[in-house]
Amino acid sequence: MAAPQGTRPDPVELRAWLTNRVAEYLRRPAVEIDPGRQLAEYGLESVYALALCGDIEDHLDIRLDETIVWDYPTIDRLGAYLDRLWDPQPAADAE
C-alpha cells in the first residue's frame, strides 16, 4: 500500500490506543489486556476484529487490508505493523 499521508503516530500512544479499543470491544478493563496475546484467545469475535480495523483506519486516516487483524493477531504485532507503514519501504511479516 502507499505510504500514509498523516503524521506518524507515537508507537507507545498507538499501542495504548489499540489496547483501549480492544478492551472496549471485549468489555474488559484495559489493564487486563496482554498486548502479546492473540486477540482471538480473548474471544474477540471477528465482527469486532473488523470494527477495530475500521477504527484504526479512521484514527490514522489510512486504508488497510481488511484481514489485518488476522494477519497481525496481537496488539504488539498490529502496532509494529502499523508503525512500519510510515517507513519508506514497509516490510511484511504477516503470519
Partner 1 sequence: VTAIEAVSAYLPPAAIPIEELGARLDVDRAQLGVFRRFYGLSEVRYEPDGSLTDLMLAAAGKLTALRGRECQVRYVLQARTVQAVVPYPVNPLHEVRQRLGLQHAAAFTVTEHACASGLLAVDLAGRLLAADGDPDALALIFVGEKAFTPIVQLIANTTFMGEGSAAVLVRAGGGHDRMLGYASRTHGQFHSSLRMSPELAAEFELMYLDALAEVILAALETAGLTLAELDLILPHNVNRLSWVRLCKKIGYPPERVVLDNMPITGHCFCADAFINYQTARDQDRLAPGDRYLMAAVGLGATFSAMVFEH
* Closest distance of CB 73 from partner 1, Å: 12
Cβ-based nearer residue to partner 1, 44 or 75 = 44
Does 47 bind partner 1 (CB under 8 A)? Our answer is: yes
Q: Measure Cα distances from 38 to 9, 15, 34, 60, 80 in Å.
A: 23, 14, 9, 22, 14
C-alpha cell read off for 58? 479512521
**In 3D, which of 58, 59, 54, 93 has the Cα closest to residue 76?**
93
Under rule CB under 8 A, which residues in 12-41 are in contact with partner 1?
25, 40
Interface stretch with partner 1, choices 9-17, 30-38, 42-50, 79-87 (CB under 8 A): 42-50
Q: Pull the grid cell for residue 26.
A: 471485549
Instruction: Lay out the site mask for partner 1 across 49-68 (x = CB under 8 A, - = otherwise).
Output: -xx-xx-----------xx-
- Which sign does the torsion angle of CA 64, 23, 94, 36 carry? positive
Q: Which residues bind partner 1 (CB under 8 A)?
A: 25, 40, 43, 45-48, 50-51, 53-54, 66-67, 70
